[in-house]
Structure 1
């Protein structure tokens, strides 16, 4: 299925790798700046943005997401320069979603207003907890009062377009106090909430503290209860759980993240950024998984030499792409529609892959999975145990792929058409 001429689009992610301090749980690609030359970083981000956009051949960027790190530590001028580079290289619609991740301590009202003037129209605030003791445990640099002050300012500047993050499953965290935090946040927040369970990553300070017995291990049963009850609280407050960790009301879904979950193309800019796109300018026909060089100084040297700092690029096979479509699509409440699946694999339908599966029949009888005229999706109960479901479905897909009849010749183009993915579900 070929996309209509002029319809090729993608999302764009920009990674700002610097933070004031590394949080105790964080293993992301982040650095504490020592004598940062922001002008040099800005020039390299602009250069890599233009280079990768030209390489991809996309004709429109539907959303931009500034993540990190702490991108609210960057200057609004840096943000404006990158957005201008996008607009000069391809189409950036005036109403495109442009999100900035912000930490409360780097987000005073005047600074947030300057980001709005630079082109940001959506804010994602890393509140994480409404308990000062928990914030200290996590290594956060803000207090609860600072977080709530930033949230109030953000809602005035970005009404209806301010998201908040809340973590659960912390060491020694109890269910009822955490639910009270969530209730308090719901009385103050806007229309988008993300709930993230703490993952204790090897190599982090938190991991070391738990290993040495300074802190207890998180209680998985308490975390499961927090997630279950938190979902109920959000549903009663009018929020739709449109993805495993994300909840929205008044149609305030994240356009950018929805592109990921619907298997759309995205371009990753900046140290350690990831991307998925077809390099049309190089004559590519398969989607590539790309990773930029991690360390900022080395990344900048490569950008200055080559125009971009791509360290790794791997062409995805048709099966690998289908595995990503399955794994990401099932994270959403709509799952994978038949039309959406057939765009990526027109010769092996969802019914062909899963219709006669004993695994799927068992999951359906347990009320965890649905396969019907709409497509394949988890039930509300199934979303809570997606990891277990997904392992079984991936094995079923691999077996079906191995035993499929040879398909007729097909177009190798693998990017989404305008009627698939995000646009069909967020109007």
Structure 2
């Protein structure tokens, strides 16, 4: 079997070959040469974990044994198939998520990247992110992933309190987390993101802020703050339902979030999205594609995607979901080249709702230029400029509508859900006025 370093060199060789091919086809080999319809991010789902955490309802499985060569082959096949169906010629980022993709072999990561580079243009400096848990990535393994082509890590740290980690069902300790973080920063300086959860049962604001301050002494330039969401079917949900645990206090969680974002702002972090904070420009290129409603392909069991299948002759963007269960997914990939289980065409109004809801999650919001890429007739001024309820949000300082576009203020980002409750109905009204339904029997 080839070493990960050899695989990475294979990716580099394939990338150079793609550049030569693009130049020969008159594409010029430059990112700007690929139109928006031919560019996409790529998400690759590794569905396996060592155990299921008490709060997790993601599509993940605890296997007795994984035939990784088969899984790897199917991931490569599906990536090639979806790239062909989508007509994508330029992959802007790759994200290996899960599950716990750091349990996969670096060979699997390298094989997928090499296949993508052979099928389309994947520049050598493309952001390639791997999700990792502290217990699954000793330093030597992190280095091997780096040689395979990974250049950014997202570490599921979640807490720096051992009792909270045990409550969450995590397998690592706070000490493990900090050791992994230090090694990750050594290998991937400036490109390590960490997750910290808030709103756990019994969690106190002051103690949680102490964790955040401690993390700031060790972290890199990207932090994500996520509020615990109790999902039906999880162990934590059952414990709360039975009264074995106190239900999380939403007011305390809101206070943690507000205090936490203030601490991060004072530490020089930019809140570029509702849950994500960066300094020194270290934002997630991959996630930015989601928030800007760019195309993305989902590869692997249960992966989601949003793209227009130009290669199949379609002109309508689709929401796609791959088959959830890994064994069934692999059977379908072997038979059909991909395991797409569900395809939902997205109407014009649905796309505009996504552009609005996703764009307003960011501090940039929805610019006029971005809006016009999806809606050429109704401007943001047309939709929101004269509405009384929107004017109230503007006067309250929660929303801004100006020459740049529509965006939330720093205060507005904290209450985005309530802002959208005003904006989405207004968008629906404006769109229906422009596209009146035919009168039945008329």
Q: TM-score normalised by the shorter chain: which range applies?
A: over 0.9
What is the correspondence of 1:24-423 to structure 2 with a 5 Å cutoff? 24-404=54-434
Render the CA deviation track for 1:49-99: whole Å, top value 9, x for unaligned: 000001111110010000000000000000000000100100001111000
Task: Note the aligned Cα RMSD (angstroms).
Answer: 1.1
Structure 1 runs not aligned, ≥5 long: 407-427
Q: Alpha-carbon deviation of 1:353?
A: 0.5
Local SS of the residue matching 2:271: strand
Local SS of the residue matching 2:383: helix
Local SS of the residue matching 2:434: coil
Instruction: Return the match for 1:23 from 53, 57, 60.
Output: 53
Q: Alpha-carbon deviation of 1:362?
A: 1.1
Q: Alpha-carbon deviation of 1:366?
A: 1.3
Q: Alpha-carbon deviation of 1:392?
A: 1.6
Aligned to 1:6: 34
Render the CA deviation track for 1:364-403: whole Å, top value 9, x for unaligned: 1111111111100011111111111112211100000000
**Distance in 1 between residues matched to 2:168 and 2:353, nearest whole Å:** 34
**Distance in 1 between residues matched to 2:95 and 2:34, nearest whole Å:** 23
**Distance in 2 between residues matched to 1:89 and 1:283, nearest whole Å:** 19
Render the CA deviation track for 1:283-319: whole Å, top value 9, x for unaligned: 0101110000000000000000000000000111111
Local SS of the residue matching 2:401: strand
**Distance in 2 between residues matched to 1:20 and 1:198, nearest whole Å:** 21
Q: Alpha-carbon deviation of 1:405?
A: 6.3
Q: Alpha-carbon deviation of 1:156?
A: 0.3
TM-score if structure 1 supplies the norm length?
Answer: 0.93
TM-score if structure 2 supplies the norm length?
Answer: 0.90
Aligned to 2:8: none
**Distance in 2 between residues matched to 1:55 and 1:345, nearest whole Å:** 25
Q: Which has the higher contact order (CA 8 A, sep 6+)?
A: 1
**Distance in 2 between residues matched to 1:107 and 1:327, nearest whole Å:** 35
Structure 2 runs not aligned, ≥5 long: 1-30, 437-442
**Distance in 2 between residues matched to 1:397 and 1:302, nearest whole Å:** 40
Q: Segments of 4+ in structure 1 off by > 6 A?
A: none
**Distance in 1 between residues matched to 2:421 and 2:343, nearest whole Å:** 26
Count of residue pairs brought into register by the alignment: 404
Local SS of the residue matching 2:315: coil
Q: Alpha-carbon deviation of 1:6?
A: 3.1
**Distance in 2 between residues matched to 1:287 and 1:5, nearest whole Å:** 22
Local SS of the residue matching 1:403: helix
**Distance in 1 between residues matched to 2:118 and 2:391, nearest whole Å:** 52
**Distance in 1 between residues matched to 2:116 and 2:102, nearest whole Å:** 19
